[in-house]
Amino acid sequence: MIVSASASARLAEILAGLGAVHVAAEQPFFYTSGWASPVYVDARVLMSDVAARTEAMNLAARELRELAQRQAFNVVVGVENSGIAFAAWLAERLGLPLSYLRKRPIGWGSRAQVEGRLPQAARALLVDDVTTDGLSKIAAATALRQTGARVEDVLVFLEFDLYPETGDRFAAQGLALHALTNWADLHAALAARGRLSAAQEEMLAAFDADPVRWSIEHGGVGA
């Protein structure tokens, strides 16, 4: 669920303006989850544009401050590697400690997967850049919970909000997914800028209508 419609629209404009969206020409993109997609979004381009990054993260902090207070977060945890920068910028603005979660444990013990010092009775906001079907975010939350941290909220910069059962998966694990923007707003921002050819619009329309079928037809996994 996007945290704010107005913020989502503005953040989509920022990403579109930075050229963060890559539309496939002949070969589809394949995500690590196995999905085939006509689009790849590199939200990390924000790292290299100070003005865009500052505006985007100020918006994020403004929209998330109430949630942070309500949930009494006492640490922000970024997912290696893609979520670390976003988590750091957000933690700084919210005045919270920062840690990051490794993809795999290094060493032994319940906290071998975490870099940085988790507070006692940690109440963590888990942060990453993009989610498709949510499986990797759920795996990350599960790993963080094994340290003893309370993890109920996952924040991503971009949620595709297209793939089936994503919301149900998060709910089944006692997790709420929060997104700063989504694919629908990003697609609209691209179209408004005239960045899409007629052929690209046709391809993206087919993807939007049925991403599972699009993936299967292009050699990717299905639901």
133 is in an annotated binding site: yes
The CB-side HSE value for 61 (13 A sphere, CA atoms) comes to: 18
156 is in an annotated binding site: no
128 is in an annotated binding site: yes
CA pair distance 51, 74, nearest whole angstrom: 28
CA pair distance 56, 48, nearest whole angstrom: 13
- 3-class secondary structure, 21: strand
Dihedral-angle region of residue 161 (phi above 0 means left; psi in -120 to 50 means alpha; beta otherwise): left
130 is in an annotated binding site: yes
32 is in an annotated binding site: no
102 is in an annotated binding site: yes
114 is in an annotated binding site: no
181 is in an annotated binding site: no
33 is in an annotated binding site: no
Q: Which residues share a beta bridge with 179?
A: 2, 156
CA pair distance 71, 75, nearest whole angstrom: 11
137 is in an annotated binding site: no
Number of Cβ atoms within 10 Å of the Cβ of 27: 10
134 is in an annotated binding site: yes
**Helical H segments across 102-151, by residue range:** 135-145
What token pair was written down for 70? Answer: 């309500």
CA pair distance 180, 46, nearest whole angstrom: 14
Binding site listing for 5-phospho-alpha-D-ribose 1-diphosphate: 102-103, 128-136
Annotated binding site for orotate: 132
Annotated binding site: 102-103, 128-136
